[in-house]
Amino acid sequence: MKKLLKPVDGGERYELRCPKAMPQASTFLWNRNMLLQLNCRGFAVAQHMQPEPSKYSHAPLLEHKTFMQPEQPQYAHHPGRFAYIRDRETGSVFSAPHEPVRAEPDDFVFSAGRSDAQWRLRKNDIGIRMSVALPLDDVAELWTIEVHNDSGKPRRLDLFPCFSIGYMSWMNQSAAYSSELGGIVARSITPYQKLEDYPHIKTLKDWTVLLHGERPSAWEACRDVFEGEGGIQHPDGVENGGLHNGDAIYETPIAALQYRLNLAPGECREYRFVFAPVRNGEQAKVLRTTYLASGGFEAAQAEVKAFQEQRQGCISISTPDAELDNFVNHWLNRQVFYHGDTNRLTTDPQTRNYLQDAMGMAYIEPGHSRAAILQTLAQQKADGALPEGVVLSNGSELKYINQVPHTDHCVWLPITLQTYLDETGDYALLDEWVESHGESLSVLERVTRAMRWLINNSDHRGLSLIAQGDWCDPLNMVGHQGKGVSGWLTIATVHALTIWADITKAVRLENLSVEMRTAAEKFTAAAQQHLWDGDWFARGISDAGTALGVSSDEEGKIWLNPQSWALMSGVATPQQQEKIKAAVREHLETPFGPMVLAPSYTSMREHIGRVTQKHPGTGENGAVYNHAGMFCIYALYAIADSDRAFTELRRIIPGPGDEHCLQRGQLPVFIPNYYRGAVKQFPRTAGRSSQLFNTGACSWLYRIIVEQLFGLRGIVDDGGAGGTAGGLQVAPQLPAHWQRADVTRHFRGATFDIQMQRDDSVDKTTLTVGDKVVTDGIIRDIEAGKCYSVKVLLPGALSSESGAHSSGSGAFSSESRALSPESKAFSAEVGTPDVAPGDSK
């Protein structure tokens, strides 16, 4: 039996060989102006920005405009891109990719590429290849359909490319063939009722066109006429062998074309199409000229390739885990870049997301991160709070969840800033002036103000107020009366303040640093006093004083985030660390990664809120919520539990192995925002992917891989003057079963070819750069443009428990990691209490 799933082209493509095994399996393509999600069966969700997300291939009814939903269900008339093939001699019909006919193919491949998607299928000795790519900037799908006669005899076929246009508008929709533009042109007017909407409405690209390279012999633009009684699965227009050049007159449009083919044995025909929204015929003509002229597709793809090659990220790896290599080298960097490049195709990204997406971009396009930090601070409120969302374009407004007050946004600011500073050494950023609400302050002043906002956002006990949510958006009724507190946020505040204490210390602002550290210690003390439940930290305390996420709860007994952050922030004592790890293992661990809470709530708790109303095992109500999973992995590495960290990390990436992917229903070409949890309550659906590729998880995973797994983190010299760049710290935490790993790391303009190897002859990590041994593990005096050859010898494999002290970052002294708060937790554990804020607990 053929392998169901496999990477090809050195991992640059990923192939699925059955349309039925994972019907929701999907990939996505994007440019800055559009997004195209495609599933293996030919269904598609396309959005373009004008500037709000809009559709040009619609559902069959007026769709609710909202954010992307998890596990979005498909249905017979789901928008898609199809090609029906009819044998004119036998009348037999099948379709590519698989929908709508769903004929059993003789051969099927769905091939997700980094910048295209392809399908190859064979049925009755006819081969079909469909592929799509996007241009660098234009909103347009560039489609190729090839038909190949694989039989030994001439074949007479009809090819019917058929692209969904759907229900465009109740005000005005129509479609017809245009000889002048060369294709089906569907026109509509976005429905509206208010006069004040008109100026915007009239700027929209309300037409959808399917432009062809080669003129078809017939076409149909009216969906119902095309389908007739046969329906979408067996359209009359196809089954009866001919289209009749009809129009859609205030009827649901479709773009169906017919080509008559007489193929000699072995003969192949290729057809090209551009499917796109436009505002008028002129724009359609430009698309035709640009892409349907000879070499147009090739030029577009070359441009995209050149663009992508500049944005591959800062690391490429070769390890004993080839599937991990593929994912990190080709897909994870791509997903991280997608987030930063497009801001998830929103005009008002949630501040928390925007900052973390910028964190990931520090490794790919640091200039973007810098700009995002400045953009965020330019919308800081006078009291230091950050807004719910960062408004990116004129006229856009805060929507959906960004209308609900959350209290965690400031936490992410020092985290992203630290990552950016580590990666670039660009301490000049701290002195940039940023104007907001008529006040001009430096970045340093603004971040300080944000930290003071966090400090002030606390109650009489010193616990952080939650308002209507923190990281967990639907945790909206714990503190809506103004009294309830967040256990996680209290602990996360420690983490944020500690980072800021470190950074300010590095730039010699001793007083400020001490202020931050002292505040962190107070929050730590409050957390210890009010939140420690005996075996783990509570998730919060409601307005009425009821604790949640505690052992006396029957549901939502333990939440992952307070535990992860207690580990990474140093809030947890060594004894607590052990208890926490045991509790997480017992209550939250699954084969798909850790659940965000357990047991999932099964009914509303009015002192907790909306999270308890989500379906058990989905989203924040007990899914393997990968963003939270990443915090957990980050925390495990931070306390040098490298093997356990790697185990969790590996679980979160689909595969290796078909079965692992099958239960998820997802290809390893992105990290989804969640896998279904509630594994005991609902084993049938446990592990199923949300198919949502918008997630803060990818930035964190990239960071974890660069800075923790391979331990290749930028660092500022402890003793340097403010702004001193420091160097590249080398402190890998490879899993014990890896004997070697080769890593190429791009850092501050230089390239490091790094060989990591276990060697029984060393008893601690040994670093050689060129022919020089580096004793403190930090490569300094890096010259941009230069290539360094680096060798790292690691002690032989040890178990995680006994090896924690000798593997990983612990091999070097804590002084060299002044900006690394997690190292302090670890340092505390190994007995250097002088710098640890949480050591006395």
Structural element, H or E, at residue 702? helix 697-703
Annotated catalytic residue within 321, 473, 502, 643: 473
Q: Please name the residue that has the structure tokens 């798909």.
A: 592
Q: How does DSSP classify residue 537?
A: B
Shortest Cβ 613–a copy of itself spacing (Å): 5
Kindly give, in sequence order, each residue whose CB lies less than 8 Å from that of residue 553, ignoring residues fewer than 6 positions away. none
Shortest Cβ 62–a copy of itself spacing (Å): 4
Q: Give helix 412-424 / helix 487-506 axis angle, nearest 10°.
A: 30
Shortest Cβ 57–a copy of itself spacing (Å): 14
Shortest Cβ 544–a copy of itself spacing (Å): 16
Q: How does DSSP classify residue 43?
A: B
Q: Please name the residue that has the structure tokens 């509206």.
A: 192
Kindly give, in sequence order, each residue whose CB lies less than 8 Å from that of residue 696, ignoring residues fewer than 6 positions away. 352, 353, 356, 357, 627, 630
Rounded to an integer, what distance in angstroms lies between the CA atom of residue 135 and that of residue 479?
Answer: 47
Comparison of 222 and 778: residue with beta carbon closer to a copy of itself: 222
Shortest Cβ 76–a copy of itself spacing (Å): 3
Structural element, H or E, at residue 123? strand 116-123
| E-assigned strand segments in 387-511 | 433-436, 439-442, 464-465, 485-486
C-alpha R_g of the chain: 28
Residues that bind a copy of itself (CB under 8 A): 20, 59-66, 69-73, 75-78, 102, 167, 170-174, 189, 192-195, 198, 202, 223-224, 229, 231-233, 249-252, 400-401, 403-404, 468, 473-474, 476-477, 480, 604, 609-610, 613-615, 617-618, 676, 682, 684-685
With beta carbons less than 8 A apart as the criterion, state whether 405 and 468 touch: yes
DSSP class per residue in 246-299: B-EESS-EEEEEEEEEEEPTT-EEEEEEEEEEESSHHHHHHHIIIIISTTHHHH
Comparison of 227 and 426: residue with beta carbon closer to a copy of itself: 227
Shortest Cβ 71–a copy of itself spacing (Å): 7
Comparison of 557 and 610: residue with beta carbon closer to a copy of itself: 610
Q: Closest Cα partner for 797 from 643, 633, 650, 578?
A: 643
Q: Please name the residue that has the structure tokens 């002044």.
A: 818
SS3 183: strand
Q: How does DSSP classify residue 647?
A: H
With beta carbons less than 8 A apart as the criterion, state whether 372 and 361 touch: yes
Q: Closest Cα partner for 39 from 88, 70, 81, 69?
A: 81
Comparison of 102 and 585: residue with beta carbon closer to a copy of itself: 102
Q: Give helix 642-652 / helix 626-638 axis angle, nearest 10°.
A: 160
With beta carbons less than 8 A apart as the criterion, state whether 676 and 618 touch: yes
Comparison of 316 and 602: residue with beta carbon closer to a copy of itself: 602
| Tokens linked to 737 | 């079963």
Rounded to an integer, what distance in angstroms lies between the CA atom of residue 767 and that of residue 759?
Answer: 12
Rounded to an integer, what distance in angstroms lies between the CA atom of residue 798 and that of residue 783?
Answer: 36
Comparison of 69 and 789: residue with beta carbon closer to a copy of itself: 69
Rounded to an integer, what distance in angstroms lies between the CA atom of residue 831 and that of residue 656?
Answer: 39
Shortest Cβ 220–a copy of itself spacing (Å): 14
Rounded to an integer, what distance in angstroms lies between the CA atom of residue 117 and that of residue 111?
Answer: 6
Give alpha helix (H) positions in 443-544.
443-456, 487-506, 510-530
Judged on CB neighbours under 10 Å (0-12, 13-18, 19+), 328 is: buried
Structural element, H or E, at residue 32? none
Rounded to an integer, what distance in angstroms lies between the CA atom of residue 568 and that of residue 799?
Answer: 21
Comparison of 194 and 460: residue with beta carbon closer to a copy of itself: 194
Comparison of 380 and 468: residue with beta carbon closer to a copy of itself: 468
Neighbours of 202 (CB within 10 A): 11
Structural element, H or E, at residue 473? none
Shortest Cβ 25–a copy of itself spacing (Å): 14
Comparison of 123 and 824: residue with beta carbon closer to a copy of itself: 123
Comparison of 201 and 441: residue with beta carbon closer to a copy of itself: 201
Rounded to an integer, what distance in angstroms lies between the CA atom of residue 728 and that of residue 779?
Answer: 5
Question: Cα separations (Å) of 727 from 415, 424, 454?
Answer: 19, 10, 31
Shortest Cβ 202–a copy of itself spacing (Å): 7
Structural element, H or E, at residue 99? none
Comparison of 60 and 574: residue with beta carbon closer to a copy of itself: 60
For this structure, is 553 an active site residue?
A: no
| Tokens linked to 328 | 């990190």
Question: Cα separations (Å) of 125 from 96, 109, 154, 277, 283?
Answer: 14, 15, 11, 35, 40
- Bridge-based pairing of strands 787-794 and 750-758 is parallel
Comparison of 113 and 619: residue with beta carbon closer to a copy of itself: 619
Shortest Cβ 390–a copy of itself spacing (Å): 18
Comparison of 405 and 574: residue with beta carbon closer to a copy of itself: 405
Shortest Cβ 565–a copy of itself spacing (Å): 25
Residues annotated as catalytic are: 473
